[in-house]
Amino acid sequence: MNEWYREIDPPQRLLMGPGPVNAHPRVLRAMSADLLGQFDPEMTAYMNETMALYRPIFGTTNRWTFVVDGSARAAIEAALVSLAAPGDRVLVLNFGRFGLLLVEILERLGAVVETVDAPWGEVVPTATVAAAIERFRPALVATVHGDTSTTMAQPLGDLGRLCREAGALSYVDATATLGGSAVLADQWSLDVVTAGLQKCLGGPSGAGPITVSERAAERIFSRRHTERGLGADASSPGRGPRIGSNYFDLAMIMDYWSEKRLNHHTQATTMLYGARECARVALGEGLTERYQRHAAAGRAVTAGLRAMGLTVFGDDAHRMSNVTGVYIPAQIDGEAVRRRMREDFEIEIGTAFGPLAGRIWRIGAMGYNAMKHKVLITLGALEAVLRAEGFFCEPGAGVDAALQAWEGPTQPA
């Protein structure tokens, strides 16, 4: 057989960057199960079970809690194209690359977009958000929860209330936080929240969990236009402008996930199995215990880096627990360090984007990788590589500090 077509046999790397991370073995096993037809009663039962499993993870009782086939970005785009029509005023909280992604998608949709900005490494103050909503009077307010480009987590406790008081809908991209820190869609009065499997949920990219409130569903169904060929009586047409995408049309996808089972696309069976098992793993561990594990991992990474003489990036008060940015020391080639981590230790850490490119590394500890031994192995390897590259680290200091920090909160240095 031609050598170019040999069997796939990837190296067993420890993925300690900002995502993706190593998938939980249970998820991979679930994804190897036999395929089913999309309308097989066993298959639709799995769909219903997946909806039920994700409600507590999103902190909601929303009926419309399901999975969009495609990466986390597919769920983001489905939410935005279904909520925002051309000409709608949309306010975006921008504090990193993925806030700018929301702007990019919305501008392509023809929305009138305004941003309320914070420097990379900070978050947007709630008072600033409130003032922008009052002044701009948006139909939709959109934000990222945890932006892995800056490792910052935007506070959301008041966002939904502010939006509802102004008559606006709210959208949150929780790709990097769902399953690793609390997302309380109902308590925070959020209308639409989306996520992905490949970070704190410990699965592969390819499915985007989503939850939609009744008020958001009303907006989406007001734009419902049934696909030709499915029958004129399949669903009541909406009065609003047709959603500008077929594949990402949430009105049609929601009809597919409803009791109607109105055909939209062929459900990605294997990804559904994976999404379902990600949720089973999370709920089986216990959400409180899972959030505590991610917090411990974040404390350990931060403490270990500082003990090695490195400077952690960003605002301590709003740092994500699952991804930590750290400045590349002067005179150190950041890509050489990443290459040696990969080649000598089979560990991947992340680079950065935009104004932070070449300035910081991003180290993730989430999902199946938010474990004490994986954090310690990563810090020990980083110390060895840095010393080999000419940066002095006190031998063992990072690992020792991480071990101590894992057991309880420590004050930032």
Q: Considering only CA atoms, which of 106, 109, 105, 129 is closest in space to residue 117?
A: 129
Residue 137 gets the label, from left (phi > 0), alpha (psi -120 to 50) or beta, of left
CB 242 within 8 Å of CB 223: yes
pLDDT reported for residue 268? 94
Instruction: List own/partner pairs for 3-12 with CB under 8 A and 24 or more apart.
Output: 11/346, 12/346
Residue 19 gets the label, from left (phi > 0), alpha (psi -120 to 50) or beta, of left
Residue type present at position 358: G
pLDDT reported for residue 413? 38
pLDDT reported for residue 262? 86
Cα–Cα distance for residue pair 235/291, rounded to 1 Å: 41
CB 202 within 8 Å of CB 77: no
Tens-place pLDDT, residues 319-361 = 999 999 999 999 999 999 999 999 999 999 999 999 999 999 9
CA 129 to chain centre: 22
CB 384 within 8 Å of CB 341: no
Tens-place pLDDT, residues 170-184 = 999 999 999 999 999
- How does strand 207-212 pair with strand 64-69? antiparallel
pLDDT reported for residue 411? 45
pLDDT reported for residue 92? 98
Q: For residue 364, give Cα distances in angstroms to 35, 112, 284, 300, 322.
A: 33, 35, 23, 11, 6
Q: For residue 232, give Cα distances in angstroms to 208, 221, 225, 374.
A: 30, 16, 10, 56
**Full pLDDT tens readout for the chain, 413 residues:** 567 788 899 999 999 999 999 999 999 999 999 999 999 999 999 999 999 999 999 999 999 999 999 999 999 999 999 999 999 999 999 999 999 999 999 999 999 999 999 999 999 999 999 999 999 999 999 999 999 999 999 999 999 999 999 999 999 999 999 999 999 999 999 999 999 999 999 999 999 999 999 999 999 999 998 887 776 555 677 788 999 999 999 999 999 999 988 888 999 999 999 999 999 999 999 999 999 999 999 999 999 999 999 999 999 999 999 999 999 999 999 999 999 999 999 999 999 999 999 999 999 999 999 999 999 999 999 999 999 999 999 999 999 999 999 987 654 43
Report yes or no on whether pTM surpasses 0.85: yes
Cα–Cα distance for residue pair 298/303, rounded to 1 Å: 9
- Burial of residue 99, with CB atoms counted within 10 A of its CB: 0-12 exposed, 13-18 middle, 19 or more buried: buried
pLDDT reported for residue 229? 77
All domains in the chain, ordered by first residue: 25-283 (3.40.640.10), 287-406 (3.90.1150.10)
pLDDT reported for residue 226? 81
Helix, strand, or coil (residue 362): strand
pLDDT reported for residue 263? 86
